Amino acid sequence: MKKLFLATLLMALAAPAFCQTDKDDIKKTITTMFDAMRKGDSTLMRSTFADGIVFQGISSKKDGTVVLKNENPDAFIKTVGTPHKEIYDERITWGDIKIDGPLASAWTPYKFYVGTKFSHCGVDFYQLMKTKTGWKIIYIVDTRRADNCPE
């Protein structure tokens, strides 16, 4: 009886190490996108996006007016894949991830560097959908500023 109890306890404790959750898969998709950006690999980056992905950015004009800017995902992918001297390095921290069936959202504060030089910071907000091939990013909106960055 004691052996059965120990075996059951061992299996219960080891199970989480072998089980990957949707949150892990969502993090993997987003991490892969940033790995692709650092490598300059537009093909790998595109693999993390769903068809029809939407990019938007929220920023402030010099007069303090807040604006929403629509961005072209294909232009971004082309920029990433075009050879460039410095590495584009977006360093994120994981915030809240929420999931409802095939829909998920992720909030990630970030700092962006070109090579080793700090460029800007803000928050990325992602919407993802679960497909037959895994989680794909369907929407990204971010904020951008050069000061008041998270530690």
Task: Give per-residue pLDDT as tens, 51-92.
Answer: 999 999 998 888 989 999 999 999 999 999 999 999 999 999
Closest to 122 in 3D by CA, of 110, 112, 105: 110
Provide the pLDDT confidence category of residue 5 given band limits of 50, 70 and 90: very low
Rounded Cα distance, 110 and 101, in Å: 27
Closest to 42 in 3D by CA, of 90, 74, 1, 20: 74
In tens, the pLDDT along 103-126 reads 999 999 999 999 999 999 999 999
Query: Looking at the domain 21-143, which fold is it?
Result: Nuclear Transport Factor 2; Chain: A, (3.10.450)
The alpha carbons of the chain give a radius of gyration, in whole angstroms, of 19
- For the chain, domain boundaries: 21-143
Residue 126 burial by Cβ neighbours in a 10 Å radius (0-12, 13-18, 19+): buried
Q: What pLDDT score was predicted for residue 2? A: 60
Question: Under DSSP, is residue 124 helix (H, G, I), strand (E, B) or coil?
Answer: strand
Question: Is the Cα torsion angle 39, 115, 105, 74 positive or negative in sign?
Answer: negative
Q: Which of 20-24, 64-68, 92-96 has the lowest mean pLDDT?
A: 20-24
pTM for this prediction: 0.84
Is the predicted pLDDT of residue 36 greater than 80, yes or no? yes
Provide the pLDDT confidence category of residue 7 given band limits of 50, 70 and 90: very low
Rounded mean pLDDT, 17-38: 88
| Helix%, strand%, coil% for the chain, nearest 5 | 30, 45, 25
**How are beta strands 97-100 and 117-131 bridged, if at all?**
unpaired
- Is 69 in contact with 55 (CB distance < 8 Å)? no
Of 12-21, 96-105, 141-150, which has the strongest mean pLDDT?
Answer: 96-105
**Backbone phi and psi for residue 84, each to the nearest 5 degrees, phi listed first:** -145, 155
